[in-house]
Structures are given as structure tokens and as C-alpha cells.
């Protein structure tokens, strides 16, 4: 129950054993094309898709180093570790990040973002971390940010690394120019490949603005796909096979059913853990359906609690990140999460709390069961 | 028999099925440390090792973007596709590549490299592509380049992507500051992870010279390894498991036996295919023991020949790269290559030539058998 990598179904794991083929052959081209087309369905986009052999960070960086030039301004809501890191990257790459900050666990009001556009008419791009893994916070006005970018003529980049496949994200409908995710989160594949979508106008811009980098140079990937249906550099073939099979599972379930399943599981977690006596870290209108973060009660030691969960109950969850270390715990409720996972996690948390001598309301379990009826 | 990805033994493939674990856990730390220590043995270095989740190109780029600053001069022998690409990368990153060219299939005389050092006393680095995959050419004075770099106070970077594990490369003994390889070549693991070694003085230099990039930022990897024995970004876990097992196979065989096996197989290929009536592409003193490149005879059509090999004999070899397309074929004789692979490839080439109506001397087979006696 980690915030990634998540559990990978056996069908997906076993797919890795397919033969190592030549990545300059027709067999590979058929595989790659199939992956791209399925990813387009999952992203709900007609734009280009590129599959990078990197972690999500590599793909996020690609969205910066191929777009941002020296002095370019980029607006970015900052309310956690990953949005901070992205803003810092924009700066270190020579751009100017305009940070719209909010306390961790909250999103900045969208009005503050519009004000930043008003005050900086030459803003080139808006970067938004859709789901802040470090705090369990999701931006709930991603669609409106697309409208803002349209109004102010800015590129719109969505970092959806830890959420795509687990919550709504119709890339074209929301006017997202670049969308990034990773294999090992809500898509439930092993880590190591990261898809990125780019629409026509952004591709066109990149074509006329050459970047000095090589491995993350998106122009090379476009060119190789167009001319050869191949990747410019050797792909991580077993992970391509696995990702292909993970996409099959996603499409067999259907995106809307999958998103609803995540919503129901998240609802069960929030209601049930609150009943136990815990309080969610994120404000209600910003709560994530894929990363469930809760504050520790007094006397709940992070290490003791998570060691109990792991050793006594074989349930792995994550602690806090950076400043939140020791203050919150985080559950990844994404990918293959079902009634079994939710109930087992909640009952283990209940027991661990009891073992630590903390009062916990056992009604939490029936409340979760009730919420999960709708699955 | 491709020049990579190469055949991966079942033991290595099956290792990928180990459970997806938390990359911020003790289980991962044990795995990562073990991989690093084994890689040090294979590289024959006491320097740091970093394992990147990228293809070889990603690791090669890391050696440029973490070291080269605007205006820095770097000498580089250029005699094929990959050395050309590396020189271009140095330039596009803002450095100045001093290309010491040689015709494809040859290495520039080392004297020309020393002259370049004499003419440019402020050279910061020497980059050498140890094995040029595109032409089957290996630089046979890598040890002496280390001495030159010492003499002129330059960093020494060895791109050993397509050769490490198949030929001699004692990193510390040859005074190599940065050495790069990839998993899917002579180490016979699946593609997607690339190890890179960095010695103390280079690490120190990098620490005081921050690079604007993120995913390939080696300082981050040093820091995370030192402080946590972890990678800064999510690693491609199944490929780590596979690489770990591939290293077990390498160390069980022993590096010197492994190198000797590659030498014997290469010798069998060169002698035998020459007997068939073909001529090697590379000059004798530059011939690779891992990529065997031969010129086509008149009337040997690349497509027809390789289609016959593939469809009739299930043997995959590669064609020429860039300008050499249609002019040469290339055999990857690396990783798991044994008597079986060599004989099957040679006999298939013999038959395919016959099927194309080309005179081929069948003595080639007994000559190969003889050479392979020493395996």
C-alpha cells in the first residue's frame, strides 16, 4: 500500500518474460505502436505519446528542458515536495519559476494563479503537479487551469505522475499541452518507463527550439517515431512488455470504472480512518483519491507504528516526506486496490493502534465495509 | 546475435519476477549495495558506481552534462556513429569537441591525440568510445590514453557501453575517471539500466560544479547513496534484479575467463568468415572482439541476406549503420556467446551465401571448430 511502486498483477509481471527482441525490427514496431495507441486512450488524447526509459522525474524534466529557455517565466502552484522540486528545476534550468504557494495539504486559490498571469503577461508556461504525493493533495481545478492558459496564451503542463489511471484526466478536453505520468503508480506496472503526451502545437514549438540535451530530447523521439515507429535509444524492453499488459488491464476495466473504484476506496479510507480517531492531513477540497495521508495522534510513533504494520500485518505504508517526517503516514490507494486491500489495511491500522495502547473506534471497519458496497 | 540487446540467460530473465519492493526500504538497500559492489569488481575499480535507469546513451550524456561547462575543450577520437554522436553532444552542451578523426574501421594514431593535447594545453577531458558498435572497431590503446590524460592533467572518460564484460577494461589501472556501460550488451542483462563509475577526484570536481540538470545529475546519486544507500529517483526494480543476477553469472565465470571466451569466439568468427571469402570491415589492429563487422561481397544484398538468416535459420544479425547501410553486416558476439552460437551463426551464413548463389568455402566450419577448441 505504498505511494508507488504499487502492487503489480501477475499478468503484468509475467509479461516481462517475453523474448528480448531487436528494437530495430518489425516485432518491436508492432509492440511500440500498440503501446502508444493504448496510452492515447488512457490519456484521452489524440496527441503524440512518447515512452521514456526513465522514472517519472525523467519525464517531468523532459517537459522542462525541451520547453523552457533562459529567462522564460513559468507559473507553478507549490504545496509540497514534488512541486517544490519541479519549481527548483525550472530555475536551475535557467527559467524563472513564479511560485504560487499554499500551506502543505491545501491548494492555492485559483484566483492567485490568475493574478500571477495578470501580473506577468509574458508567462510561457503553467506547470501543475496534479497530485502531490508528499501530502496526499490533488488540485481539483485542473480543467480551469486549462482555460486560464488558453486565455493568457501559455503552455499547460500537467505532472500526473502519481495519479493518472486513478483519477480523471482527459488531456485534450482539459487543454493540457504536455501530460506526464509513470508506469509504477496508478497504472500498476513495474517502475522504469514513463509516458508523456505532447500535443501538436507544443510539438511544433519544440521542433523550432532545439534543446542542448540528448537522452531527454523529445524531438528525437518524435522523429524516430514518425520515421521508424521506434525509440531513438534502446528501450527497456521487458518494461515495455509489462506496461503493454498493464494498459490491457486498464482498458479491460475501463477508465471510468477504474476512476470510480479509486474514488470509492479513497472514500472508505477517509471515512474509516477518521472514525478510528485520526484526522486527514489534506483539507477536504484537496484530498487525493490515490494518496491517503493522515496525521499521527500524540503517542503514535512513526517508526513503531509502521514497523508493527509491516512485521505483524505485512502491510507496507509510507511515512511523511521532508518536514512531514514523523508527523503523517501515507497510504497508496492506487492501481490494483480492491476491497481486500482496503479492509486489510484498515483492520491492520486498527490493530496496530490498539497494540500501541491508543483508543481506536472499531466502527471504522463497518463504515469501510459500507462504503465499499458500491464497488 | 545482435550488437545488443543480446541474449539474456533464463536465470537472469526469471530474476525479474522477484517482488516489487519499496525503494526506500532496507530490502532495497541490501540489493542496491550488492549490485554496486559486484559492479565495482567487474569494472575493477574502487571508485563510486551509480546505476542509472536509462539506456547507455543516458549514462554517456551524464558523463558530459556533469563535467563539461560552457567553453570546455574535450578531445575525442571520432571514427563511427557513436563517437560522432558523442562529439556532437559535447558541442551542443556548450563544450568544444576536438575531433581526432580516422576513417571508419580504423583508429586515429595515438600520436595525433597527443598532438591535440600539445596544441590545446587547456583541454579538460578526453572522451574515448572504447568499442565503436557501428563499425566493429575497438581502440587498442585505452591504457595509453590514461597516461596521456595524466600527463596533460585532463579527465579521462571511457564509453564502454558495448564492450564492458567482453574485453579487458581495468578502470583504475588504466586511470579512467569515468567509465560507462549498459546492461544489455556484453553483460547479458535486459536493456534499461546503465552503470557508470566515477573516481574520487572526478566526484570532488562535480561536487563543486553544479549541473543544471536533474535526472542525470550525478551529485544527487552520490548523495543518496552516501546518505541512504538509495537512488534519488525510483529505480527500474525488475531490471535491478536482473542486472544483479547477470553480475552473478559474470563473477561466477570470472572476468578473465569471460574475456578469453569472447576473444576465442571473435577469433573463430574472423578466421572462419574470412575463409568463406568475406573481408572484415575493421583494420586488423582495430578489430573488435564483441562486434564482428564484415563487408558484403558484390551480389550480397543486405536485406535478402539477413532475411534468409532470420527466416530460414532463425539467426538475427544487424546491418550497417548510417553510411555503412547495405555495405556491411554486424554480428554481436557478446555476453552469452558460446561454441553453439558461433557455429550456428557461421553455418547459417555459409548456407545463406550458398542460397544466394555465392561461392563460399566450407572449410570455414572446420576452421571455426579448431579455434573453438580452446574454449
pLDDT of residue A362: 92
- Contact present, B144 and B18 (Cβ < 8 Å): no
Mean pLDDT, residues B254-274:
98
3-state secondary structure of A91: helix
pLDDT at A210 over 90: no
End-to-end CA distance of chain B: 19
Q: Would you say how long chain A is, in residues?
A: 375
- Cβ-based neighbour number of residue B17 at 10 Å: 14
Rg (C-alpha) for chain A, rounded Å, is 21
- The pLDDT value recorded for residue B321 is 86
What CA–CA distance (Å, rounded) separates B58 from B207?
A: 20
Q: What is the distance in angstroms between the Cα of A29 and the nearest Cα belonging to chain B?
A: 15
Rounded to an integer, what distance in angstroms lies between the CA atom of residue B342 and that of residue B369? 9
Checking if the pLDDT of A321 tops 90, the result is no
pLDDT at B295: 98
Residues 6 or more apart whose CB falls under 8 angstroms from that of B349 comprise B273, B276, B309, B315
Average pLDDT over residues A199-227: 94
The answer to whether A215 and B54 are in contact (CB under 8 A) is: yes
Question: How high is the pLDDT of residue B167?
Answer: 98
What span, in angstroms and rounded, lies between the C-alpha atoms of B208 and B230? 22
pLDDT for the residue numbered A351: 97
- What average pLDDT does this structure show over A23-49? 97
Query: Could you tell me the pLDDT band of residue B41, with boundaries at 50, 70 and 90?
Result: very high
Residues B365-371 have a mean pLDDT of 97
Joined grid coordinates for residue B136: 566493429
What's the fold here for domain A255-372? Answer: 3.90.1150
Please tell me whether residue A50 adopts helix, strand or coil conformation: strand
Q: Would the CB atoms of A5 and B22 count as touching at under 8 Å?
A: yes
> Which one, of A11, A40, A6, lies nearest residue A255 by Cα?
A40
Cell 542483462, located at residue:
B189
Q: Indicate the helix (H) or strand (E) that contains A98.
A: strand A96-101
**Does the distance separating the beta carbons of A234 and B56 come in below 8 Å?**
yes
Residue B344 DSSP SS3: helix
State residue B209's pLDDT score.
Answer: 82
Whole-number pLDDT of residue B229: 97
- Lowest mean per-residue pLDDT among A79-88, A148-157, A202-211, B157-166: A202-211
Q: Do A58 and B56 touch (CB under 8 A)?
A: no
Determine the average pLDDT of the residues in B18-44: 96
CA angle B313, B318, B322 (to 5 degrees): 155
Name, in order, each residue with C-beta under 8 angstroms of B82's C-beta and a sequence gap of 6 or more: B129, B132, B133, B134, B159, B161, B162
Chain-chain contact of B235 with A192 (C-beta, under 8 angstroms)? yes
Mean pLDDT of A272-281: 97
- B85 CA to chain A: closest CA distance, Å? 10
Domain ranges of chain A: 10-253, 255-372
- For the cut 90, the answer to whether the pLDDT of residue A249 exceeds it is yes
Task: State the CATH class of domain B10-253.
Answer: alpha beta
Q: For residue A94, how far is the Cα from the chain centroid?
A: 25
Q: Model confidence at B226, in pLDDT bands (50, 70, 90)?
A: very high
Q: Rounded to a whole number, what is the distance in Å from the CA of A318 to chain B's nearest CA?
A: 9
pLDDT digits 0-9 by tens, B48-85: 999 999 999 999 999 999 999 999 999 999 999 999 99
- As a whole number of angstroms, the distance between CA A241 and CA A236 comes to 9
Inter-chain touch A65–B213, beta carbons under 8 Å: yes
Q: What is the mean pLDDT of residues B255-268?
A: 98
Q: Is the pLDDT of residue A323 over 90?
A: no
Whether residue B244 contacts residue B15, with contact meaning beta carbons closer than 8 Å, is answered with yes
Distance from CA of A5 to the nearest CA of B (A): 7
C-alpha cell recorded at residue A13: 509481471
Nearest CB among A6, A192, A215 relative to B58 is that of A215
Q: What is the mean pLDDT of residues B248-260?
A: 98
Does B365 have pLDDT greater than 90? yes
Q: Which of B216, B217, B183, B231 is nearest to B23 (CA)?
A: B231
Residue B19 near residue A9 (C-beta atoms within 8 A): no
CA distances from B92 to A211, B71, B101, B156, B159 (A): 8, 11, 19, 20, 18
Give how far the C-alpha of residue B244 lies from the chain's centroid of Cα atoms, to the nearest Å.
18
Q: Which chain B residues have a beta carbon less than 8 Å from that of A23?
A: 5, 191
Peptide bond into A5 cis (omega under 30): yes
Strands (E), B176-282: 178-180, 194-198
Say what the pLDDT of residue B323 is: 87
Of A25, A192, A318, the CB nearest to B192: A192
Contact B43, B169 (CB under 8 A): yes
Q: Which residue has the cell 553453439?
A: B340
Summary mean pLDDT of chain A = 96
- HSE value, Cβ hemisphere, 13 Å, CA-based, for B27: 11
| E strand or H helix that includes residue A328 | strand A328-332
Which of A27, A239, A316 is the best residue to mutate to test the B interface, defined by the most B CB atoms within 10 Å of its own CB? Answer: A239
CA distance A331 to A273: 11
Strands A178-180 and A194-198: antiparallel
Amino acid at each position: 500500500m505504498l505511494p508507488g511502486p504499487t502492487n503489480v498483477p501477475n499478468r503484468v509481471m509475467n509479461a516481462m518474460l517475453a523474448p528480448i527482441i531487436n528494437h530495430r525490427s518489425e516485432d518491436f514496431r508492432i509492440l511500440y505502436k500498440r503501446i502508444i495507441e493504448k496510452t492515447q486512450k488512457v490519456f484521452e488524447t489524440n496527441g503524440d505519446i512518447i515512452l521514456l526509459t526513465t522514472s517519472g522525474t525523467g519525464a517531468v524534466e523532459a517537459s522542462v528542458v525541451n520547453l523552457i529557455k533562459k529567462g522564460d517565466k513559468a507559473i507553478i502552484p507549490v504545496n509540497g515536495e514534488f512541486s517544490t522540486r519541479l519549481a527548483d528545476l525550472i530555475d536551475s534550468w535557467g527559467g524563472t519559476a513564479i511560485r504560487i504557494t499554499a500551506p502543505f495539504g491545501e491548494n492555492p486559490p485559483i484566483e492567485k494563479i490568475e493574478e500571477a498571469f495578470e501580473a506577468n503577461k509574458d508567462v510561457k508556461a503553467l506547470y501543475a503537479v496534479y497530485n502531490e504525493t508528499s501530502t496526499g493533495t490533488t488540485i481539483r481545478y485542473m480543467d480551469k487551469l486549462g482555460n486560464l492558459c488558453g486565455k493568457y496564451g501559455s503552455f499547460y503542463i500537467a505532472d500526473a505522475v502519481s495519479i493518472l489511471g486513478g483519477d480523471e484526466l482527459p488531456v485534450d478536453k482539459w487543454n493540457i499541452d504536455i501530460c506526464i505520468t509513470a508506469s509504477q503508480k496508478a497504472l500498476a506496472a513495474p517502475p522504469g518507463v514513463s509516458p508523456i503526451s505532447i500535443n501538436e502545437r507544443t510539438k511544433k514549438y519544440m521542433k523550432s527550439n532545439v534543446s542542448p540535451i540528448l537522452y531527454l530530447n523529445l524531438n528525437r523521439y518524435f522523429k524516430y517515431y514518425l520515421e521508424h515507429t521506434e525509440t531513438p535509444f534502446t528501450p527497456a524492453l521487458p518494461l515495455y512488455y509489462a506496461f503493454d499488459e498493464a494498459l490491457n488491464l486498464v482498458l479491460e476495466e475501463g477508465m471510468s470504472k477504474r476512476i470510480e473504484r479509486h474514488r470509492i476506496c479513497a472514500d472508505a479510507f477517509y471515512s474509516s480512518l477518521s472514525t478510528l480517531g485520526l484526522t486527514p492531513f489534506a483539507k477536504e477540497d484537496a484530498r487525493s483519491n490515490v494518496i491517503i495521508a493522515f496525521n499521527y495522534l500524540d503517542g503514535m510513533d512513526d517508526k513503531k507504528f509502521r514497523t508493527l504494520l509491516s512485521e505483524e500485518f505485512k502491510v507496507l505504508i509510507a511515512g511523511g516526506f521532508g518536514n512531514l517526517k514523523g508527523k503523517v503516514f501515507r497510504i497508496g490507494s492506487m492501481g490494483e486496490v480492491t476491497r481486500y486491500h482496503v479492509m486489510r489495511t484498515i483492520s491492520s491500522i486498527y490493530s496496530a493502534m490498539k497494540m500501541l495502547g491508543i483508543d481506536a473506534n472499531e466502527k471504522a471497519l463497518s463504515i469501510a465495509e459500507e462504503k465499499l458496497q458500491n464497488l
